A and B are shown apart, each in its own frame.
Chain A
């Protein structure tokens, strides 16, 4: 069983969903992001999704775009992501990296996998790489023992859900709505149906993301998915209240992901 599969087996055994928290590496600085990510772990994030800031993030809405911009303007370099992963892992965090494909291509797919694995990273989430184009990454992730999360969407056909799940390892990412990242008031109605469709094709854990920001939403997602993925809301919390902000948000969302026992919000 892979590291991430192991993690989900654990949260499933506890009868709850895992909380997956996103933050870009290098936001607002390299040290600052390590501090924020560590606070997210303290607050209750089971898994971290560390973003690689990229110049053309077409799957991201304004909040994450702005954070990535801040990181790039502060001088973020791609190799910094390994530093961040290493330090967060040393502090007990379990980390995947979410990255658009071109930075990985440019670094060299195998070299990236090698350096990422030796920093203690568990796997990649690749929003603009579909398995059809991923031969190099499939080989590199096998060679370096990394997990790989591809995305499915409400518009995915049964065949594509099947083939995408088959190519994935660790967990499968279901985008709950058609759209880019950004906090929304309601969890889209398409999400439960998509998760159900996924379950017909795979035993992999299924994480649901795009739009979650409150404990109530986390509880709702936890009622049908194995992982609750939260991004923009963490960025906003970091902007407003730094480490304390993301720690508090993680605690609130973690309570939601536990099945909503404490959900009063």
Chain B
């Protein structure tokens, strides 16, 4: 495979926004004037760096020797048996150093930070994966690192808080608003406005003001470029569908992008359905939201009648966000990608299934994509080839999952907050396997 990690950066996409960062009516810059100079500076440095062989070589070297790219493609036939017999291929971003796709973007931006001569990096994080990746790159490159994280998330992703601190980062729990990712971004933006001269805001997803959505995407395009070549080599044809979870949208855009001009390939993003969209407790921004401006860009968002941002809900901290990147908003409006919710219960069922059938513990975020692939397989049938972005690994989620499944000592499944893995569920073969209605809690004890 001759894909280089820097290819997505070196070769401009055919689907770039206009020069002011607009993807159709979305994107742009809805930020205080005080940040415009820093955003302009970032755009200039990024454009220079992507044409500079030294920058590209350095990124390639780190992505190979430090991240461990290219990430493998794994056939998961036993999981496929639960997906109508479809062939499922996992793009293993979970095997990257630090445990998720987030490192791709972080290394790129950290190298840019050095070039801009800035010494301090701030970041927001939800699941903690972006925070851990940022803390890691800052340790490697000798940068000061401050990570904002909603207080709710510091509790449910405590392992990652400890990891960041071990790596030398300062983690600041954010106690305002819903105390999750949205509020962590607010605090990071306030810090940036105040300290912009010496600070780079290393944004962790394809949202925010221009140039972040396009630049972060470019750093992640390697995922789809590698996967496209790997699937062609392995299967001899393109996949029928590509599945990814969508929080802010970085892992999804990273894998989708290489297939945008392949009209036969369905691109499907799975959003956090929380307790079910009908309950109002979810984070399915594209499926259920409407256009508006949040965190620096025009895109879809969850909002009330007055334009106040609604609180999102998801078992997955990394998807628990009422906004989404602007390029996804455009892909949705164009009908080039589809977005659909997966409930907490459905994601956790897929989580358990991947653990037991293939020996892979996914991040709960990525479990939403697995659940989506199960649905797609049942819909498309046994001849289908489905590529899934396994965006991260589940070490950080072990506590949440153990509680959900009632595996904590002294807590019975009934007392536990979630569903139990019923034995019948585990022994259930493909022949017994009924297509699962969207959001249904098949075979598991209802909460």
Q: Which residues of A contact B (CB under 8 A)?
A: 54-59, 61, 65, 72, 77-78, 101-107, 127-130, 132-133, 150-157, 160, 164, 175, 178-180
Contact = CB atoms under 8 A, between A and B. Distances in A.
Interface in B154-186: 176-177, 182, 186
Contacts of B114: none
Interface in B1-50: 20, 28-38
Nearest to B190: A180
15 contacts: A58-B31, A58-B189, A72-B308, A78-B306, A101-B30, A102-B292, A102-B307, A106-B292, A127-B32, A128-B32, A130-B30, A153-B33, A157-B37, A175-B34, A180-B194
Interface-central residue, B189, B193, B306, by most chain A CB under 10 Å? B306
Contacts of B38: 155
B295 interface: yes
Contacts of A150: 33
Contacts of A127: 32
B298 to A, nearest CB: 8
Contacts of A103: 306-308
A56 B186 contact: yes
B193 A179 contact: yes
Given A56-B294, A106-B292, 20 more contacts: A55-B177, A55-B309, A58-B186, A77-B306, A101-B30, A102-B309, A103-B306, A103-B307, A128-B32, A151-B32, A153-B33, A153-B37, A155-B34, A155-B36, A155-B37, A160-B33, A164-B33, A175-B33, A179-B194, A180-B193
Interface-central residue, B20, B194, B197, by most chain A CB under 10 Å? B194
Contacts of B28: 132-133
B293 A59 contact: no
Is the contact region of chain A dominated by helix, strand, or loop, or is it mixed?
Answer: loop
Interface-central residue, A56, A152, A153, A178, by most chain B CB under 10 Å? A56
Nearest to B27: A133
A128 B298 CA distance: 12
B303 interface: yes
A155 B196 contact: yes
Contacts of B195: 178
The list of the 4 closest CB pairs from A to B, nearest first, reads A106-B307, A153-B34, A103-B307, A78-B306
A169 B34 CA distance: 20
Interface-central residue, B30, B34, B296, by most chain A CB under 10 Å? B34
A20 to B, nearest CB: 18
A133 B32 contact: no
B305 interface: yes
B307 A78 contact: yes
A101 B295 CA distance: 11
Nearest to B176: A65
Contact of A106 (B20, B176, B306): B306
A225 B196 CA distance: 25
Given A180-B193, A180-B194, A132 B307 contact: no
Contacts of B31: 58, 128, 130
A130 B29 contact: yes
Contact of B303 (A61, A101, A102, A157): A102
Nearest to B178: A55
Nearest to A61: B190
B193 A156 contact: no
Contact of A132 (B20, B182, B197, B296): B20
Given A65-B176, A77-B306, A101-B293, A58 B193 contact: yes
A102 B293 CA distance: 5
A72 B17 CA distance: 36
Given A59-B32, A102-B307, A103-B307, A178 B186 contact: no
B193 A178 contact: yes
A9 to B, nearest CB: 25
Nearest to A160: B36
Nearest to B194: A179
Nearest to B308: A55
Contacts of A151: 32-34
A54 B303 CA distance: 11
B209 to A, nearest CB: 10
A19 B433 CA distance: 72
Given A164-B33, A180-B193, A56 B292 contact: no
A106 B305 contact: yes
Nearest to A81: B306
